[in-house]
Amino acid sequence: MKMGKYSKFKVLIVEDDEDDYILLEELLIEAVGEIGTITWAEDYKSAQASIANEHFDFYFLDNRLGAELGLNLIVEIKQLRQLLCYQE
């Protein structure tokens, strides 16, 4: 079986509405084909845990996550990546 060019990518979808997550996942797979791993974080805290514990190639972030903003996760992702670069 031939591997697609996205078959090793890891994607994190941060979305507090399960229906929106399912729709985005389906659209993503339809658009690019096979994807290695798609992880769903349903709230801000679980997104923080996923970001801290795994490396992802792509992030899809809902901006409104209860009282938190998904945009704040971008700052956290950048800070973590910078920290990891300094450690290498």
CATH code (residue 42): 3.40.50.2300
User: Would you say residue 10 has pLDDT above 50?
Assistant: yes
Please, what is the average pLDDT of the chain? 89
User: Would you say residue 3 has pLDDT above 50?
Assistant: yes
In a domain, 2, yes or no: no
CA distances from 11 to 30, 38, 68 (A): 15, 5, 21
Nearest one of 69, 52, 54, 55 to 14, comparing CA atoms: 69
In a domain, 4, yes or no: no
Q: How many CB atoms lie within 10 A of CB 59?
A: 18
21/79: higher pLDDT:
21
In a domain, 1, yes or no: no
Strand partners, 72: none
Percent pLDDT > 70 in the chain is 91
HSE of 20 in the Cβ direction (CA atoms, 13 Å)?
13
Domain holding 43, by residue range, is 10-87
Question: Domain total for the chain?
Answer: 1
In a domain, 3, yes or no: no
46-84 tens-digit pLDDT: 999 999 999 999 999 999 998 999 999 999 888 887 776
pLDDT of residue 83: 77
Q: Which pTM does this prediction carry?
A: 0.85
In a domain, 56, yes or no: yes
pLDDT of residue 88: 59
